[in-house]
Amino acid sequence: MTKQEAQDKIQELTKELNYHNHLYYVEHKTEISDREFDIKMKELEDLEDKFPELKQPDSPSQRVGGEVTKEFETVKHRFPMLSLSNTYSKEEIIEWENRIKKLIDHPLTYVCELKYDGVAISVRYENGIISQAITRGDGVQGEDVTTNVKTIRTIPLKLKGDHPDDFEIRGEIFFPLDRFRKLNEDREEAGEETYANPRNTASGTLKLQDSSVVSDRGLDCYLYSVTGNDLDINNHFQSLSKALEWGFKAPKESEKMIKR
């Protein structure tokens, strides 16, 4: 096989496997069997081993991990990651609304959505390719966990559609309950201490040095906040609709996860 033929095949397999990954993990649909997928993945990995310089930045082989990170770099957020306020008082909500009404001169509209019990993450995309993923940290700076985040199959490596050239999207990485229970069952059988709760385990998993272990654990993610400069987006609900079009796993109105 010539280098050009290898390049064409790598590009073809990368595109095809990313399509099936999105279909399976985000849309919950399948068009090929697991065996067919595995055969295509093995073919891609063999070609990438033979021609490492031809590996694509969105290669699905990154999903299986294998890189070891000895130390996570601390990075300053371009846009601060603020924490959310909460309340259990109807009066406080009314006061909050009244304060907003004094600042604007048009009717208020609201978007209500679920609260996810996970680990906050900010993921940056440049020219449609994932370039960096940073934990919330103290809101001003966090840790660069890009290698581990790339193993999460619901976070796209490459976007589709008419997306901004440079932006960030924020969300929550979480441990699905069935995967968490299975992990604890396996640890119990091995005589190891079980984990206390899914949230803390998701946080700890995201900081593991071996990305292959992160991949095996099967973390998931909902992304719900688009951030950037000069975005052609009018409101929060529109930003989430766009995020779905770009290939993100975001809350859907049809699944009663968000409501205008």
Please give the positions annotated as active site: 115
Amino acid residing at 2: T
Distance CA 34, CA 28 (A): 14
Amino acid residing at 174: F
Residue 143: phi, psi to the nearest 5? -100, 140
Q: With the CA atoms of 169, 15, 212 and 223 taken in that order, what torsion angle do they form, in degrees rounded to the nearest 10?
A: 20
Distance CA 58, CA 11 (A): 10
Burial of 255 (0-12, 13-18, 19+ CB in 10 A): exposed
Distance CA 16, CA 98 (A): 51
Distance CA 239, CA 216 (A): 31
Q: Cα angle vertex 226, ends 171, 111, to 5°? A: 80
Compute CA 144 distance to the chain's CA centroid, rounded to the nearest angstrom: 14
